[in-house]
């Protein structure tokens, strides 16, 4: 099983701590440009990087890819491009089309990279997303935000906003589970429902008292849902 992170506090294995413990031998790579290396300019390029990384570890078949936001886009792209290598996909807080963001969302990250007061405001905004998370993990993810920084998050947002596979989604072959936290403070559209309606046989679960990070906010329930999904589909 491979866990693929998203921007900011999701930009490291820290956010998947409960899953890595629950699934011994699972992997959680750090994508290039998240403290080390050069970021990729598109989901397609991140997908090719991930495939090379997995192949270097001998992981070439029967993959279960679990992705969050940017990681979800990468997992979905992987499943579309290399269906014979992927057994199942689990996507969280993920869409198949460009995001609808509040005006100024990207500019806020750019300003936070230059202005100390805006940086503090950005960090508090990030902390607000952890409403349903245990305090210790929330503190660790805030520290991850500090390390990765707003400019990295800006770049990831741009990549996510270019992602669009609506014209291919009906051809998706791997088994698919979609998970959404219904109390996400970001008030995003129900992107997961759009995918669910476009992919026959997919499963869609919504968790209350979970927001932007359902796997870290309701880890036991999410892990159980993944276990049941894999047991029924594979």
Region 159-174 average pLDDT: 97
Q: Confidence class of residue 14 from pLDDT cuts 50, 70 and 90?
A: confident
Which CATH number belongs to the domain containing residue 162 in this structure? 3.40.50.1820
Report the range out of 128-132, 135-139, 194-198 with the highest average pLDDT: 194-198
What's the confidence (pLDDT) of residue 129? 84
Q: What is the largest CA-CA distance in the chain?
A: 51
Domain count, the chain: 1
Find the domain containing 9 and state its range: 2-233
Orientation of helix 43-56 relative to helix 135-162, angle to 10° = 120
């Amino acid at each position: 099983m491979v866990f693929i992170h998203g921007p900011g506090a999701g930009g490291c294995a820290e956010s998947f701590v409960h899953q890595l413990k629950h699934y011994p031998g699972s992997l959680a790579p750090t994508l290039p440009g998240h403290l080390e290396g050069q970021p990729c300019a598109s989901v397609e390029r991140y997908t090719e990087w991930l495939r090379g990384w997995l192949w270097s570890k001998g992981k070439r078949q029967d993959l279960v890819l679990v992705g969050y936001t940017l990681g979800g886009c990468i997992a979905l792209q992987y499943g579309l491009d290399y269906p014979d290598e992927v057994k199942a996909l689990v996507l969280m807080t993920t869409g198949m089309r460009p995001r609808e963001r509040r005006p100024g969302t990207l500019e806020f990250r750019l300003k936070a990279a230059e202005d100390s007061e805006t940086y503090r405001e950005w960090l508090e905004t990030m902390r607000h997303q952890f409403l349903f998370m245990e305090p210790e993990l929330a503190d660790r993810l805030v520290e991850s935000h500090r390390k990765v920084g707003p400019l990295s998050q800006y770049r990831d947002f741009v990549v996510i906003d270019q992602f669009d596979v609506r014209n291919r989604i009906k051809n998706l072959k791997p088994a698919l589970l979609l998970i959404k936290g219904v109390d996400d403070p970001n008030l995003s559209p129900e992107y997961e429902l759009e995918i669910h309606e476009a992919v026959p046989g997919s499963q869609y679960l919504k968790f209350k008292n979970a927001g932007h990070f359902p796997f870290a906010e309701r880890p036991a329930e999410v892990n159980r849902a993944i276990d049941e999904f894999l047991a029924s589909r594979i």
